[in-house]
């Protein structure tokens, strides 16, 4: 399983939004178990295909740091349930179309999750002197 994109692949990030507890609150324990199995099967299939070097769910807590000197620290990281980012996938796939097709397979879509598909850049598109740092082996 490649950890770095090969010359024929590009890195993409899938961000899973609207993934807070409210989205799953109406499910029975059996439905939650079935949904978890669908997610695990999807992850394992993509990993076995070499398209998913890493993925992680995110905890519900955290903080938001803002202000010119970072002086504002608030509990967060979100203001509304629809803004909750529940996790991410780091994909290595051919192009945006393939990344989008994978996002369309998300088991959580039926519950109202949304999936943001973003290319991972080698440098900041805003501050071009800010370069990416590859993951350590």
In the chain, what are the domain boundaries?
10-119
pLDDT at 62: 87
Write out pLDDT tens, residues 89-118: 999 999 999 999 999 999 999 999 999 999
Which DSSP state fits 130? -
CA gap 102, 115 in Å, rounded = 10
Residue range 23-49: mean pLDDT, rounded: 95
What pLDDT, on the 0 to 100 scale, is given for residue 132?
78
Distance CA 91, CA 46 (A): 9
Specify the pLDDT at position 4. Answer: 56
Is residue 124 predicted with pLDDT exceeding 60? yes
- Note the pLDDT of residue 2: 47
Report whether CATH 3.30.70.360 matches the domain 10-119: no
Q: What is the pLDDT of residue 43?
A: 97
Element at 17 (helix H, strand E): strand 10-17
Cα–Cα distance for residue pair 127/71, rounded to 1 Å: 23
pLDDT of residue 6: 54
> Would strands 10-17 and 114-119 be described as parallel, antiparallel, or unpaired?
antiparallel
């Amino acid at each position: 399983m490649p950890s770095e994109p090969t010359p024929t692949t590009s890195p993409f990030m899938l961000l899973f939004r609207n993934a807070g507890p409210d989205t799953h609150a109406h499910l029975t324990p059996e439905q939650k178990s079935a949904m978890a199995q669908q997610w695990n099967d999807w992850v394992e299939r993509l990993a076995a295909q070499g398209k998913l070097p890493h993925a992680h769910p995110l905890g519900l807590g955290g903080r938001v740091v803002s202000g010119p000197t970072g002086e504002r620290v608030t509990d967060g990281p979100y203001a509304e349930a629809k803004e909750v980012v529940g996790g991410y996938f780091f994909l290595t796939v051919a192009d945006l179309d393939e990344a989008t097709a994978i996002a369309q397979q998300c088991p959580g879509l039926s519950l109202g999750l949304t999936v943001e598909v973003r290319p991972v850049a080698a440098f900041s598109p805003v501050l071009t002197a800010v370069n990416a740092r590859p993951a350590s082996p």
